[in-house]
Structures are given as C-alpha cells and as structure tokens.
Structure 1
Amino acid sequence: MALKVLPQELSQSAERIRRFLQEARAASSLNHPNILTVYDAGETEVRVDANGPVARVHFIAAELIVGKTLRELIHADKAPLKRIVGYLAQAADGVAKAHQAGIVHRDLKPDNIMVTTDGFAKVLDFGLAKLTEMREERSIAADRTRDGLILGTVAYMSPEQAQGQPVDHRSDVFAFGAILYEAAARRQAFSGPSDPDVLHRIIHDEPVPLAGVPAELERLIIRAMAKNAEERIQSMKDLALELRDISSGFESLKVQSRRRLSRTARGRWLSIAAAVFAVAAAGIAGFMLNRRPPYEPVRFAIAPPSGGIFAAMANSASALQFAIAPKGDAIAFVATTPGGHQQIWLRDIASVDARPLEGTDGAWFPFWSPDGDAIGFFASLKLKRIDIHGGAAVILADAPAGRGGTWSGEGIILFSRDGTGPLYRIPAAGGDVTPALALDGSRGERSQRWPSFLPDGKRFVYLSLSGDQVPRAIYTGSLGSSAVQRIVQSDGNAELAGPDELLFVRKGSLFSQRLDRRTLRAVGEAEMVERGIGFAPSILYGSFSASQRDMIAYARWTNPNRTLNWVDRTGRVLKTVSEPADWGASFIALRGSHALLNRAEPDVGTLDLWDIDLTRGVASRITTEDSDDNQGIFSPDGTSLAFTSNRAGAFDLYLRKAGERSDKRLVTAQGVITLTDWTHDGRYIVYSDRGVTTGGDIWILPFAEGKPARPFLRTPFYELLATVSPDGRWIAYQSNQTGEEEIYVQPFPNGGKPYRVSLAGGNVPVWSADGRELFFITHKNEIAAAGVKGDAAAPELTIPTVLFRMPGLMPVQPFHPWYAAAPDGRFLMVVTPTDNPPASITVSMNWSERLRNPN
C-alpha cells in the first residue's frame, strides 16, 4: 500500500480539506482496472519524533504500483509507439469511467499515468485534481515542482484552462491529446522559456506537424487538441475506442508523410470559403457535392439553433432525428426552442443558418420527397407531409406511434404506423392506406419499421422484428410483391448510401455492408463506419442519414449524465443516489430502500433494468438479455419481478420468480405493452396496450387468481399510465378524450363513472403513500397535487395545487419524466443536468473513401 499526504500549506483551509477528502472518496468508488485503487482517505495525528509536536495529516491510502511512468517510457526507454498507444488506450478507458461518474481529472500528464510491470496502465491522482482548482490563486510556477497546486500542469492545459475559464471533461480530452502528441513526437506539444510563453502558445499556436506517424493517429491527435472544445472529440470513451482500434491494427496503418493543415489553418481556409459561399454558394456547393474520389473525407458539425436543443428520445439523449436531402444539398432536423416549441428545421449544407419549417409542430422522424421539395413526418398521432417552400401540412393517415417513412419517385409513401404490425403504403397526394407487406407468421414476425426506398423507387429495405433465431434483421422487399429477403442482422434502421453500401446499426455502432446491386445480397463482411452513435433502444432507431452523393450524417452517443435524486415538496434536490448514466427518463418503481428503472447501454445497444440501492447509491443490473427490457415492478412480497421485454419482437409482459432461471411470458401484446402497477394487495398487475382498432387501452391481469388478462377501460381514445390507489379503491390514469391529456380517477376494480382531476392538462399520475393525494405533471413540467377522498358514490376532489417545477432538463414532448412518491413525502426522480455540452450532428463528405482505402 502507498500513502500520499496532503502538504501542510494546503491543509489550512477547511474547504480545501473537505474537497480533498470528497474527491478522494469519489475516486475510491470508481473501481476500474486502469485507475489507481484508493482504499481510504482521511486524517490522523502524527509526531515527527518522540518529543515533537503533534500534527494533523490528511492522507490518501492507495495501491502500491511497481512500474514506470509514461514519461519514462516515452523519453528514457524510447518504448515503441505502438506499445505506448496501447497503454494510452487503457488509460483513456479509465478516464472515461471517471467522466461517467462526473469526475474530471484536470491534471492529466505523462507523470500521472503509470504502467505496471505486467503491462497495465494506471491513471493516478484523481483525489487531488479537483481540490487544486483554485481560481482565486494561480501559482503556475510552483505547479512545475509540486503536483496538483492548480488546475493542471501548464504544458498539458487546455486553452480554456489556460484562460481561467470553466472546464469540463473535454479539457481532459485536450490534455490526453497533448500526451498522445508527446508520445508520437517525443517532445511536448507546447513548450517555451517561461510559463506565460507556454500558455500563450496553447491558446494561440498549433503544435509542429507530426511526421512519420500513422495518419489515423495524427487525425485523432488533431481532433483531440482542437482549440474550440466544441470541435474536439466529445467523449473520452470515443477516444479510448479509437485508440484501441489504432493499436490493434498499428502495423497496417498508413504512415503520414505530408504536412497536414492544422485546425486553425483549416479554420482560416473555411472562413475564406464561407465568404465565397456568400457570393456563389450554389456553384461551390455543386462542386463539393459532385466531386468524386480520390478525396479525403471531410467532416463538420451542425449545432442546434441558437438557444435550442436537438430533439431526442426519452430513453436515449443522443438519438437525434434528421434526414439529408436526396441531392445532399440540405438537411432537415428536429429541434426544440427554449420555450419548448418542437418543429422541423431546414439548413442548406452550404450555409451556416437554419430556418424553422412552420406547420411542423411536434414533428418526429422527418423524411424527404425524392425531388427535395417536400418533407414527410409524424405528429399528433398522424402521418403528414408539407411543402418546404410554404403551405400548410397535409394529414395523410393515422399513425399512433410512427416508426419511420420513405417516399418513392413513383409518388408512394411507405411507413410504419405503430410499434407493431406491417408496413403500409399510401399515395403521397393522399388516398387509401393499404398494407405493403404481410407479417411473416412462420418466423413470428411482429413488426416492420424504418423503411427506406432504394434509388429504383420500387425496392426498399426495412427492419423486421420477430421471435425467430434472428430477431432483428434488415430485409428487402418490393412494391407489388410479397417476396422478401434477409440481408443482414441489425439492431436498428438501415439506408443505402451510394450505389451499393448499406448503412445499418449494430451494438450501438454504425456499419456498412457492401451489396450486390442486382440481388441485394451481402458481399463480404460488414465494416464499422463510426463507433458509438446515438441509438434509441426500445424503438430501435439509430441516429444517422445518408444521401446518394457519398455523404452521411450521424450523431455520436454522449452520456447525458442523468442521475436518480431525492427531491422534496419544494423541488429542492436533497441527495443524488446513483452514478451519472443514460438512465431512462421513464418508469421508476420504488420499493422500500430500492428503486427499479431502465438504463441504455451504448456499447451493446440495449435497454436493461437496474436495481438501485438507495441507501448506498449502488446500482446492479437485473436483466442482461440481448433485448430491450423496459418497465419493471417487484411484487409486493418481493418474490417476483414483472417486466416488459421485446425479446419476441414486441413488448410483451414477462414474469421472473426468485430462484428460477427462465422467464415466463404472461401476456402477448396486441400492440405495445406498458407496465404501470402491481396493486398493493398483490392481486392485479396493471398495464396498457395499444389495440388494433382502439387507442391505448387499460388492462388488468388477475395475477393472484391465475386468470387471463381482461380490458378494464377500452375506448377510441388513449387511456394510459394507470395506477391503483394504495387502498385499492381507485384507479388513476391519463386520457386524451377531451383532445388534451388529462388525469382521471374511477372506482376499482369494477370500474364506474370517471372523475376528472386535472384542470388544464396532466400526465403521469402517481399516488401518495397514504392515498390521500394524487400527483401528476402539468403541461409546464410542474408537479401538482390534488386531494382525493370519499367513496365511489361521492368522491371529494380538491383543486390541484402546483408544488414545484421539476428540476433539470426536460425531455421533449410527448415524453414526460417519471417519478415516484415515498412514504416520507419526498419524490424520487431522474434529473438531467442542464449544463451538459449540447449534442451535435456530424456531416461526413466522401465518407466511403475510408472504406475503399483503409491504409
């Protein structure tokens, strides 16, 4: 074991000591093989000699590492670059784990990375890094001789650190880029005779171009060391994965022998180009879009409208929605303004400005007409189209939960209207809706979704979900034919990019599969295009788009850093009880000191259920199947778990009993099941299911009696999210029978007259533990409470009172954050921080050149 002691001059401030111990303990909870293990942190009394004074010493007790620092390996041992890149891939994994836990190192440098004698990289000094951020004092000279006195070591500071600006995890990315540069060049990226000289160069200059370095590695270093944090690699996880790929194929990589433009130099060129675009945008854009290889791929980012955010899905903050125009000259995306107004925006590729498309309020999943003059989309439970040059949106068909559309040159729109069922077709001008294909009963097919026409306007690809040996796969079909053919296993949507490259999603990453143009059969193995793109489990949607002009767009997966929190009745966050992760902004089941909720797993592309110990703040994964496991509730006696899963192609209801290895399917969904309650007496499981001819219907399963499920409330409207009062006398639910979502109660279990609780909109009803109050979310994302008492013949309902506005960033409509009410009056809810870096869309031109010429 090794001991690290805080110097006495840093121990004079109680605040600094508190931060030291807090950060050290946070580091001790990381538990990652590439992070120094911290066993304990605290203070003790020591006496230098028998007669000397007693001094209080603050310490960190950590594992003893036998090995060398990365600085020694780079400069003294001259270790091969391939080996160092491998060590740095390990270290990046460790830092990524810290970032997921909300810890920024702030002092990454070769001295703080050690490699053990058996080849394991260890990142050191998480405990001191945050303590030593002191904006009121900046003793830069002292930092060179004593570890951790300020934000970081001068030569590895990011530009924002060097200027005293707030920093986040991307500052660590820059420092890591500087370490990579030093490993490749065997010299520091920035040096000078004095600290001010070094700081000036970090802020204003580019490092000397590298020579004799693999091109892939150099490109990675340039991206990591971008002056503007928005232009850097946005996560350490992405950096770690890229390094791992580079290390594994190091010998085959092409060495970069020419000088590359730095980001600053390229930025100057782009500024000039932007001015030229203002004069002749169409001509230059035409040249850019019609040029052919050999050209290097060109990538740039599209940010959301000023003050707004890109619209994403409730169970994935990175699943942005956008579509490149067929000619590759424009992009349509869905964004939400600060006021919560969600609509489609249009941006020309050759422009930096976007404009909103009026008439597309509440839009989802846009797709283009072949001529680029109109857009189809889903909104208000309908399929719609709109001319981008003006005019009102036209309703084409019912689509309760649209799962993608595509528009052929023959004027046919192919679309998925719901979470289950076949693809449908309709003339783009309007007309009858008819099935385009039939579900294949021989393989238990449940859903066809995310269709995309091929250039001939007849054939198309789509995602098929079934219960056979390949439950998720891309198939091809043709208008007017019932014949289909499986192309490739996939976890999500697919599009043809160019004449013969099929893009699809697998395990959260974007792949390309070469196809035979005539037969559409796969040729060779699929190749990874981008690791870790935005992906929404449950609906199985990957955030990418392609045109036939060798252009693709995608959104990278980023950790939204959502946490589970205790909140009081005034909206004050009392305590965080989970690590930051992509926790679903969805159903939370509270039972005693444990909570059950879902979490998106970006590396595997699935949604799993996790049990969180609210006392210790420790989460344990419950489901591990290669499927999406969504809402879950423990039985009142704690011996069974009811949950929904799409392992058989649609979200059915399952049961897992303690001690049993296999799960039992309780109910096969007609549409899509949403589990919402298990009554306190254990008699009924309550859920909703979307019917074929009705909206969302409320069902109850008499579990204790062993009887089949029966509909409790079935109407043409959408009744959802039902929950039974603790005494079992009332059932609360939301319904759109008035045209707006409102909260209602009626007697349970036999039903009766419904009574409206909310007055101006309401979602997600939750009973208080004593059953005397019913909480719900208003259309302004506020928690409101209404009193409920009396009997079924004469219930007494009080006027709802707003308690507080829900904290954090709210999901876009129609999604609402879920929450649970504890017996002591507190609320448990997932909070999304408002200060996360905004998501962006990456556009890549000439992207296939990398596939054609990997070396």
Structure 2
Amino acid sequence: MPGGTLYKTDKQILNPRVAPMIGRTILHYEITEKLGEGGMGVVYKARDSHLKRFVALKVLPPEKVADPERKQRFVQEARAASALNHPNIVTVHDIDQWDGIDFIAMEYVEGKTLGELIGRKGLKLNEALKYAIQIADALAKSHAAGIVHRDLKPGNVMVTPDGRVKVLDFGLVKLTETAPVGPEDSTVTEKPSTELGLIVGTASYMAPEQAEGRNVDARSDIFSFGSLLYEMLTGRRAFQWDSQALTLAAISHREPPPLPGETPHDLEKVIALCLRKDPARRFQHMGDAKVELEQLKEELDSGKLAGAAASERRHGRLRMWAAIAAAALLLAAVVVWRQREGRLPIDLKAVALTSYSGIEDDPSLSPDGSKVAFQWNGEKEDNYDIYVKQIGGSGTPVRLTTDPAIDCCPAWSPDDRWIAFVRKQKSNWAVLLIPSVGGPERELTEISKSSALSWTPDAKWLAFSEQDSPPQGPLSIWAINVDTIERRRLTTFVTQSAGAEFPLGDSAPAISPDGSALAFARQVKSYIWSFYVQRLTRDLRPQGEPKMVTDRRYGYEGGIAWTANGREIVYAAGGGAVQSLWRVPAYGGRAPRRLPYASPAAIEPAIASSPPRLVYTWWLRNVNLWRLDLRTGERKMLIGSTYDQRIPQYSPDGRKIALQSDRSGNMEVWTCDADGSDCLQITHFDGPQCGTPRWSPDGRWLALDSRVEGQSEIYVVAADGGKPRRITYHPHGDLIPSWSHDGLWIYFASDRSGQYEVWKAPKDGGESVQVTRSGGYAALESPDGRYIYYDKLSEPGLYKMPALGGEEMQILHAGPPAGQFATFGVTSKGVYFRPDADAKAIQFFDAATGKISSIAALDKPLNGLCVAPDDAHLVWAQTDRVSMDLMLVDGFR
C-alpha cells in the first residue's frame, strides 16, 4: 500500500496491531479505520462530528513524536499543503495536537490510485493525457506557491470515479518561499530535508539531483512527472533495476527503454524534455509541459493527432519494409563475420552476483567459470579473508582463509589447484598459495606492497608488481616460479622522481591466455596511467619494448583482464562517477570502447571463456561534508549524496565553502553556501584530476591544482566561474595551493628540487621561489601573515617557520599524518588537525599554551577539514559509506 495516502482501496487489509486507535475520538474526529502508513505517519479515516463529513487524519505514531526532525517535517507538510487551493490537490482542513498526538485533518478521497489504473499494459492515450494535464496543473500551482512535492509517483495520485485527479502527500515537500528582503537582509530559504544524509523520495521516480542527495527545485518534480507519464503510457517504470542502488545509478547515467512505436512523436519529445539529466535542459516550468500536453489532447480529440499518426504509420510501414530488407542483408553479413570471429551478437546485462554486508572485491574466476574467488570483510565487517562462491548457488560462500591479517587479491590457477593471494604483514606483504578447495597455506615470497597477481597458462609462474628500492622506489612487474621460487623481471620503470607523492611505475599484471604477452598499467605521473602490452618469449622473458595501447587515463582504480580469445584487454578507468570498464585491442587498431552494460564505478574485471562471462566489482563511495558547531558541540551533515565531496574551504567572509566533487562525473571544483545549499560547479576540465581549492583573501578568486598537461599545475579561477588561468609551468608536479594573507603570493608543494618542498609564485604568474629547504608539503599562512605552517610528505608532524624566512620549528610530532594534505586548519588561536593517519578524531593545538585538546571523535575516515573565519564552525569531509559488490555479465566474449 502506498505510504501516507489518504484513501480506501479495494485491496486494503487492516492491521490488528493498530486496533486501539479504531473507535477513538480525537477532538471532534471519530476514527473509523486505518487507511495507510508511510514514513511520515499513519493515516486513518475519521468522521468530523462538527461538519458531518469524513476526513483523513494523518498522525505520527506515539513512538515517533519525540523525534524533533520528524515532527518538524510533519508540521511543514501541513503548512505547505494548507496554502494550496486547487481542485487537483487534496485539501488540508486542520492541523492540531491532542493528548500528545500531532495530526493533520485532510480531505478524504474515494477512488483508485493511478498505479492501480495503470496496471501492466498502461493507459489509453486519451486517458493518459487527461490525467497528465490535471497532474501538471496541480504541480504548476504548487510550484507557483514555492512548494516542491519531491515524491510524485502513481501511489500519490488518486483518480476519483468521475475522472478527477487528486495529488496527495506533500509530506516530502521542500519550501522554497523566501522571506521579505530588506536593504540589509539576505535571502532566507528553508533547509533541504536531505539533511543528515536522508535522501527523501521513492527511488524509481527521483530526479538525478535528488538521487544524488543534492538540492532540488521545481525541475526535480518535472523529471518525476516525466517518469510518471512514461509509466502511464507503457505500464512499466522508466527506471527500475534489481536494487535501489542500481536504480539510483541508472537514473543518473542511463536512459529509459524506448516508448512504444505508436506513441506520437510530439509526446515523446515532451517526455524526453522532462527526463533530461541536467535540470537546466528540462522544461523550466511545469506550465510549459502542461501547454504542450493540452495541445496534444486537442489534436487527439479533433482527430488530427490520429490522422497524423495513421499517416506516419503508413509511411512508417514503407520505411520499415525497406529497413527490414537492408537489415536482413546487413545481418547476414554480421552473422558471417561473427561466425568467423567465433561469436554471435547477444544482449548483455549486469546482474548482482553478491550483495553481502561489507565489501566484496578482487574477483577471480575458476578455470571452468563456475566459481569465483574474492576478498570479503565478512558479515561483521571486521577482517578481509578469501572466499569462494558457486555462481548460480544461493548458499553462503566458503571461507578459505582465517588469518587476522588482511588477505586480498586472489588469483585462481589455470590448473584449478591453487588460489594465490596477498597477505598484509607488519612491514610488508606476502604472496601465498592455498588449495582451491581449502587446506594448508604455503608462502611463496615477500613483497613491499599489495599487488594484483596473474598466472601463466601452465600454472608454473605467478606475476606481481614490486618496488625496486622500497619504500619510494618505482614499481616493476616480476614473476616467481611457484616450484623453484626463482624470480624474474618482466618490466622496468626508471623515471621515478625522488620526491614523488607515492611510487610510480608498473602494476596490475595480466598475462594473456596463451602466455605470449603481459598487459599492465604504467603510472607515469601522479594519478595518470597508460596501459601497455609487453611481448613475452616462450620461456617467459620480455621480448622487445612494451607497447602503449591507450593514451594516458585519469582515475584508474585497478584491474586488467584479457578477453578469452586474447585479442583485447578490459580495464577500469575514468575516475569518479564516470569510472567504468573499457575494452581495447591489445595490439592496436581501434580506440578504447566503454562497456555500456557495466555499472558506473565498475572496477576489477575478471573473465572466463567457458561459459563466457565477466565478473567485476561495483564500487560505491559516499564522501560527505559535516559541520561541527565549536560553541555548542552540535554536528550535522551539510552535503550528503552518492558521490564524493572533499577538501572543503571556507571563504574569507564565511558565507561560502569551496570543495572538490565528482558529482558532475569528473572531479571538479564547486562552491556552495555555508549551509551546504546552492552548489555551483566552478571548473569544467572534464577529465583531469582537479581540486584542493583555496580562496584568495578578498574572496574573488580560487587557487586550485589540475593535471590538464599531465603533471599537476597551479591555476586560478574567478570564484563565480570562468576560464582558469595557469600560474605555474614546470615538468614536475605543483599542487596543493594556498594564499598569502596579503593575496600577493600562492604557496604550493613541488618536487622540482628533487623532493617535495613548499614554494610560492606571484598571484599573476612569474618566477617561483623556494620557501622550505628540508621538506614541505601542504602549507597554510597564519591569519596575521607572520608564520607558515606546513607538513611533510615523508614524516608525520606539523612545522612552522617565519613567512619572511628563517629556521623551521616542529610544533606537533604526532600529526597531521605524512602526505595527507588538508588535514589541518590554522586560526589566530591555534591549529585544528587530524592526529595521525589512522585516527578518527580532530584535535586542537593551542598556540598560546602549547596544549592539545580533543575536539571531536569521528567514526569514519576524514578527507579534509577547515575552520570558519569566526572560529564558530569546523567543516570536514568524511567517508560515510563504502560499498562493494560483485556483478556478473553472462555471455561476455
């Protein structure tokens, strides 16, 4: 039963649990029966003894009344709906409280829900238009009053026996009405009810911005209206996948299936305009969509639309037969070609293979493709071990390892005997073997860092990546003989910079099915990868130089696999919300192609030849902004969504926050109001990693770093958007900018001297000046301009030195963590900081006393913090949710 509706349906079943409410009288309302229940309350049918009529009472269950936020939204609903007076909107009669019960008295509507009328086949065209026009009129009225419905769906639309539409349940509205603005007043808007991470609404009908937890407006209702109209015509939802997470991802990144062929073209255009992902490209007003629908209805009633449709069908049939003839010839050619290629066309779809609590990652298929090995942190989410699952089976996966250390990166041997994997040790990692059916483990070798593993076809050698000279040396690909323990180098990477942020070089080895080649990822600069193929001799030695098969790729997250025929490689690349799987010929001839059936944020592909199938990891990560009131201790979420927002920075006047976010598909710089509303995209690099924004002292400019040219460079852009202006030009990486207090200089980190130091450049560009001499990374100048505070890449702690030059002084030994920038904020009184890399806390260093105090305990990892100019609030980014599940694509070749 739809939640919160105000009617009695033919399928209603009363719940005995609520019997005590039946028969009670609340003020002058005599409750007769329960009608429905939803997240915002329980709805009863009641008789108004004063006016001798039936009403619908929506009340909060007693156990919910104590929830201030729920009660506030409950009252908000009544006030919003009571302001509306429209024949297609349910009428609100009263709002009151009695004996601790909060309730709203509403018009009682008899009839059926639109969902009941739609059924599986949809509505006739004239019925769909008749109802759609009334719904559009109701929404136009509410939008004009500053009210957004936020939960438009078939269950919230009633149709009376005489065909009148009533839009119900404004319990999820957002008030956008502004208060009067005087000469010294600023605009005041109601805060969105997605506060504290709550995404309000029904998944299949949400607009992309609503599904991502961003601010919504009337155009979000227009998207929902388009979804509703689509369902009225087809009998199926525009966006309906196997889980809510998949549905939300589809809303943001996929289009609905085509409408039926008999749908008038003009109506298709109306629905397409409603369902555009970008709100700026939709209908901007509900009234515009209503006018289009009214015109279509007039044409249908006059017969013009039917005649046009019939003509179109006649012409369409001629075109159809011509197309069929051409398609038959083309299909014959395709079949012949596909047969030569050993494959036939097939419609592919990704389905969930695992959906356990916690994180499942690093899939590896058995040689016969019937089982998958993977790492999982278990039902308690307390330790990563290696598990095996039968594909198609419904039982609990078999746990192979039980060590308290982290086990990851399984690789199933081609002879089905072993599963190789990697285990974390105190100071390094170990490569081990375990029988694929379970049994005693066997350690092969130690390596400096975790690595993907890949077997040769004869199951005698195992490839992995290893540093040539830990801890900062470059990575190369090696192989180890599992019988003799002989090591053999397969690739060499020699361009590692001494001061790089982390080891560069070669990783993610994948040996081809016939053993003649090795595919791998080469990180040539920070965050920039290319994919290579190295030819191998029969005795597993490199033959010639490796060949690059892709240009540089941003946002590579791991995983390379060969197709079963050994002609292509599949890899993960893209970054942020557009992270996906790609395939490219291993030896050239065609540009990379994205796999359209793979989920967004797909990584770690694994492929089997018989049966032909692909398994990969679907990775969802929510990094949200939180705010702490330093005066009261109150904390609340500012921005919550299914995307990544981090590295926040207050503007000098405290009214804005700059941040980096991938909500547009790529990591870009955004700004928002200090309360998290009105987010605005500032940069549009559309690909390269971009971020760490810092405001100029006058609030007019933002400094940032971006990898447009490959290496990271410093840019400046107007705070309200525009074309970024490049400040630094150097083949080494320049990153993490910040401003001097007078706005004349921009500090940044650079390894141009051989290790990372703090440098500064004039704000308009020019010759850079080295500031530190014994290491430096992220730097902030004190508000009075006397000191520079900075951390170092190679060791934890915080340092300061006079801004005009002088000796450095270490003021903190236990934090911030080495190399994790934006983990401290400088104020006139001291420094807020994260103590170390593993700490889930924020502390404060008092500059006057030298004492350290605890500010906040966190339960999630921190990704950047900043302090308001008036020292009243602290904002930080926090990883609230990480979810990884395995997905299966059968028929992949």
TM-score (norm 2): 0.55
Give the conservation status (yes or no) of the 8 Å contact 2:365–2:373.
yes
Which of residues 698, 709, 719 in structure 1 aligns to 2:757? 698
- 1:10-409 to 2 correspondences below 5 Å: 10=57, 18-20=72-74, 22=76, 41=80, 71=117, 77-79=123-125, 105=151, 108-109=154-155, 111=157, 127-129=170-172, 224=242, 234-238=246-250, 244-245=256-257, 247=259, 299-304=351-356, 309-310=358-359, 321-325=361-365, 327=367, 328=369, 329-333=371-375, 335=377, 343=384, 345-349=386-390, 352-353=396-397, 355=399, 372-376=418-422, 385-388=431-434, 389-390=440-441, 394-397=445-448, 408=456
Does the CA-based 8 Å contact 1:553-1:841 persist in structure 2?
A: no
- Matching residue of 1:273: none
Q: Which runs of 5+ in 2 are unaligned?
A: 7-42, 44-53, 86-92, 97-103, 107-113, 137-147, 160-164, 175-198, 207-223, 264-343, 435-439, 497-503, 536-541
CA offsets per residue over residues 699-752 of structure 1, 9 Å max, x none? 22243694324262546xxx64443332344444445867xx444445555353
Partner Cα separation in structure 1 for residue 532 and residue 166 of structure 2: 46
Q: Is the 8 A contact 1:652 1:665 kept in 2?
A: yes
The Cα shift of 1:378 comes to: 8.6
> Equivalent of 2:834, from 776, 779, 786?
776
- Counterpart CA distance in 2 for 1:758 and 1:472 is 35
- Could you say which structure has the greater relative contact order, defined with CA pairs below 8 angstroms and 6 or more residues apart? 1
Q: Which moved more, 1:779-788 or 1:234-243?
A: 234-243
The equivalent residue for 2:589 is: 521
Q: How does 1:607-626 map to 2 (within 5 A)?
A: 607-614=667-674, 617-626=677-686
- C-alpha distance in 2 between matches for 1:589 and 1:342: 38
Name which of 474, 477, 487 aligns with 1:425.
477
Q: 2:824 aligns with which of 763, 766, 771?
A: 766
Cα offset, 1:623, TM superposition: 0.9
CA contact (8 A) 2:475 2:506 kept: yes
CA contact (8 A) 2:122 2:233 kept: no
Distance in 2, Cα, partners of 1:556 & 1:581: 13
Q: Give the AA of the match of 1:810.
A: K
1:644 offset after TM fit, Å?
Answer: 1.4
The answer to whether the Cα contact below 8 Å between 2:682 and 2:722 also exists between their aligned partners in 1 is no
Corresponding residue number in structure 2 for 1:642: 703
Deviation of residue 831 (structure 1)? 5.6
1:532 and 1:82 map into 2 onto residues whose CA distance is 33
Report the counterpart of residue 725 of structure 1 in structure 2: 782
Report the equivalent of 2:868.
822
Partner of 2:38: none
Task: Give the distance between the partners of 2:871 and 2:569, measured in 1 at CA.
Answer: 53
The letter for the 2-side match of 1:495 is: A
How far apart, in 1, do the equivalents of 2:120 and 2:248 lie? 22
After superposition, the C-alpha distances for 1:204-229 in whole angstroms (9 at most, x for unaligned) are xxxxxxxxxxxxx89996x54xxxxx
1:486 Cα shift?
3.0
Deviation, structure 1 residue 618: 1.0
Q: Does the Cα contact within 8 Å between 1:296 and 1:846 map onto a contact in 2?
A: yes
Task: Give the letter aligned to residue 641 of structure 1.
Answer: L
1:367–1:573 Cα change, 3 Å: farther
Q: Is the 8 Å Cα contact of residues 563 and 578 (structure 1) preserved in structure 2? A: yes
Residues in 2 aligned to 1:59 and 1:578: alpha-carbon distance in whole angstroms = 34
Larger Cα-atom Rg = 2
Query: 2:477 touches 2:490 (CA, 8 Å); kept in 1?
Result: yes
Does the aligned pair in 2 maintain the 1:689–1:698 contact within 8 Å? yes
**Residue of structure 2 equivalent to 1:810:** 860
Deviation at 1:342, TM superposition (A): 6.2
Change over 3 Å in CA distance of 1:547–1:75 after alignment to 2: closer
Match of 1:594 among 656, 667, 670: 656
- TM superposition shift of 1:651: 2.8
Deviation at 1:129, TM superposition (A): 5.0
Aligned to 2:746, which of 675, 685, 692? Answer: 685
Q: Which residue of 1 aligns with 2:518?
A: 460
8 Å contact kept, 1:448–1:463? yes
Q: 3-state SS of the aligned residue for 1:236?
A: helix
* Deviation of 1:833 (Å): 8.2
Shift of residue 675, structure 1, vs aligned partner: 0.4
* Gap change, CA 1:248 and 1:375, over 3 Å in 2: farther
| Partners of 1:644 and 1:652 within 8 A in 2 | yes
What's 1:33 paired with? none
Alpha-carbon distance between aligned partners in 1 of 2:754 and 2:254, rounded to the nearest angstrom: 49
Indicate yes or no: 2:547 matched with 1:484: yes
Q: Which amino acid aligns with 2:492?
A: A
User: Shift in Å at residue 784 of structure 1?
Assistant: 1.3
State whether residues 452 and 509 of structure 2, in contact with CA within 8 Å, keep that contact through their aligned partners in structure 1.
Answer: yes
Task: Write the distance in 2 (CA, Å) between the matches of 1:430 and 1:742.
Answer: 41
Given candidates 797, 800, 809, the residue that maps to 2:850 is 797
In the TM superposition, residue 825 of structure 1 has moved relative to its aligned partner by 3.0
Contact 2:124 2:233 in 1 (8 A): no
Pairing 1:750–2:805 present: yes
Alignment partners' CA distance in 2, 1:823 and 1:219: 47
Whole-angstrom CA distance in 1 between matches of 2:166 and 2:475: 51
Residue 888 of structure 2 corresponds to residue 844 of structure 1: yes
Return the offset for 1:179.
8.7
| Matching residue of 2:100 | none
Letter in 2 for 1:661: K
Question: How far did residue 820 of structure 1 move?
Answer: 0.7
Instruction: Give % identity.
Output: 13
Q: CA deviation at 1:621?
A: 0.3
Q: How much does 1:805 deviate?
A: 0.7
Q: How far apart are residue 247 of structure 1 and its match?
A: 4.8
Q: Is the contact between residue 652 and residue 669 of structure 1 (CA under 8 Å) also seen in structure 2?
A: no
Query: Match for residue 117 of structure 1?
Result: none
Give CA deviations for 1:494-522 in whole Å, capped at 9, x if unaligned: 4323224533456626456474x8x5534
Distance 1:248 1:436 in 2: 57
C-alpha displacement of 1:297: 7.5
Give the whole-Å Cα distance in 2 for the aligned partners of 1:45 and 1:512. Answer: 51
Q: Once the 2 structures are TM-superposed, how far is the Cα of residue 819 of structure 1 from its aligned partner?
A: 1.2
Counterpart for residue 533 of structure 1: 600
The answer as to whether partners of 1:581 and 1:599 remain within 8 angstroms in 2 is: no
Secondary structure of residue in 2 paired with 1:712: coil
Amino acid at match of 1:323: P
TM-score, reference length from structure 1: 0.58
1:660-679 matches, cutoff 5 A: 661=723, 663-668=725-730, 670=732, 673-675=734-736, 677-679=738-740
TM-aligned CA distance change 1:711 to 1:20, over 3 Å: same
SS in 2 for 1:595: strand
**Match of 2:847, SS?**
strand
Shift of 1:788: 1.9
Cα 1:18–1:529 shift into 2, 3 Å: same
**5 Å matches for 1:477-516?**
477-478=534-535, 479-482=542-545, 484-486=547-549, 492=556, 494-499=560-565, 500-505=567-572, 508=578, 510-511=580-581, 513=583, 515=585
